Amino acid sequence: MTDAVLDASVVGRWFWQSDEATSAALRADYEAGRLSVTVPPLLFLELLNVAGRQLRWSVDELDEFADQLDHTRFDIIEPELKPIARWIGRGLTAYDASYVALAEQLGIPLITVDRAILEAAPRVARPPG
């Protein structure tokens, strides 16, 4: 089994662009038990925010989405603050820094399609595929 931290740029595609090939392959690995996913708690807030603010989902749709998110089998770990602070100091947002710091803390890769993260943390982050 492979272990990885996934960020909202990847997990969001599972729900909004499920036909995207690399995202679909990752989700298939996760659902088949070949991929263990760890995330910081803020992942769920980010996804709900995108669904509500950018996609303008209704309250009922957001409720259903929250239920789906509640039933993921992701491991949820709060990253340590000092590593987050260091990544913020290197130019990442606090949100992006949380994913990088968590992956670094656990010694596993962060899978992301976020260019800023990929450029700032090439030893920790990698694109899907």
Q: What integer is the mean pLDDT of 55-61?
A: 97
Identify how many contiguous H helices and E strands the chain contains and give both numbers.
Answer: 7, 5
Range of the domain at 72: 2-126
pLDDT at 19 over 70: no
pTM of the model: 0.93
Question: Residue 20 — pLDDT band, cuts 50, 70, 90?
Answer: confident
DSSP SS3 for 3: strand
Number of domains in the chain: 1
Mean pLDDT of 25-29: 91
> Which domain CATH number covers 33?
3.40.50.1010
Paired tokens of 116? 């800023």
| pLDDT tens profile 78-104 | 999 999 999 999 999 999 999 999 999
Is 2 in a helix, a strand, or coil?
strand
The answer, yes or no, to whether residue 52 has pLDDT greater than 70, is: yes
- Identify whether the C-beta of residue 108 lies closer than 8 Å to the C-beta of residue 124: no
Spatial separation of the C-alpha atoms in residues 43 and 45, rounded to whole Å: 6
